[in-house]
Structure 1
């Protein structure tokens, strides 16, 4: 279990609460899919999230290792800017309800908004919506992350 305060009262507490090993289930929906069978997918995986130390201009940093082993670093600047793997990627905002919102802009004009919130210290929910430059929804996903509090049986 995390030793971070719950619910998180600020962005630094939120970022700290994200650290840990997570079992994850993501359901994705391709809204632009023309077929009846390929519009939805679900995947299960394990995420490992580590927190980096805040610096002068940085509120916090998360290093996320996905099921395939790929690592992504998210750096939350104090001015609300978000960098992913060292490149400017968008904006972040901590809401008074204890949730975090990420807004990312893609080179093709696609915008991605992800909202992350905790219902318990060991249960995190994430919803993501991608829209094109006209605001038409392209893709959505919902993810449930459960913190692993003990190692699985061998």
Structure 2
């Protein structure tokens, strides 16, 4: 990673800071699941690439198992999420605290994700899913640490 300013001052700097290989610990809480299945946790790795495509920024996210997705950030706040199975539309917002919020509707469920950096190599994500009447149905939390190469002699 190059020496960009921290915290990021705008969406472009934020997305460039997202680029890299990340080790992650993810927890998922499904409030509608059976008592013994309401929580899962797993570890994983993802590789994130950021690129400008005209006036749009794209993040490509590839998991270690080969699954991939693409997030397209329009200059007007429009968000497109593409995966092998679907395409969803939503909105993004760069917040005054240098975090990014993503909002997507999935049927009648509203997904709101917040992504922020604690340090340049430590990123956090939280996601809440809320039913149409406002009832929370799911929550996720992810902490990610950037893989960095050891210093060269």
- TM-score under structure 2 normalisation? 0.91
- 2:81 pairs with one of 80, 84, 101: 84
Contiguous gaps of at least 5 residues in structure 2: none
Give the distance between the partners of 1:130 and 1:68, measured in 2 at CA.
25
Map 1:18-37; keep pairs closer than 5 Å: 18-35=18-35, 37=36
Contiguous gaps of at least 5 residues in structure 1: none
Does residue 48 (structure 1) correspond to residue 31 (structure 2)? The answer is: no
Question: 3-state DSSP class of the match of 2:79?
Answer: strand
User: How far has the Cα of 1:2 moved from its partner?
Assistant: 4.2
**Structure 1 pair 13–138 and aligned structure 2 pair: CA distance change class (3 A):** same
Contact 1:2–1:122 under 8 Å retained in 2: no
Question: 3-state DSSP class of the match of 2:23?
Answer: strand
Q: What corresponds to 1:75 in structure 2?
A: 72
Give the distance between the partners of 1:95 and 1:54, measured in 2 at CA.
23
Question: 3-state DSSP class of the match of 1:128?
Answer: strand
Give the distance between the partners of 1:67 and 1:29, measured in 2 at CA.
23
Give the distance between the partners of 2:34 and 2:67, measured in 1 at CA.
30
Give the distance between the partners of 1:26 and 1:2, measured in 2 at CA.
27
Give the distance between the partners of 1:130 and 1:123, measured in 2 at CA.
24
Contact 1:19–1:50 under 8 Å retained in 2: yes
Map 1:1-154; keep pairs closer than 5 Å: 1-35=1-35, 37-56=36-55, 58=56, 60-85=57-82, 87-106=87-106, 108-150=107-149
Contact 1:2–1:121 under 8 Å retained in 2: no
Give the distance between the partners of 2:54 and 2:121, measured in 1 at CA.
27
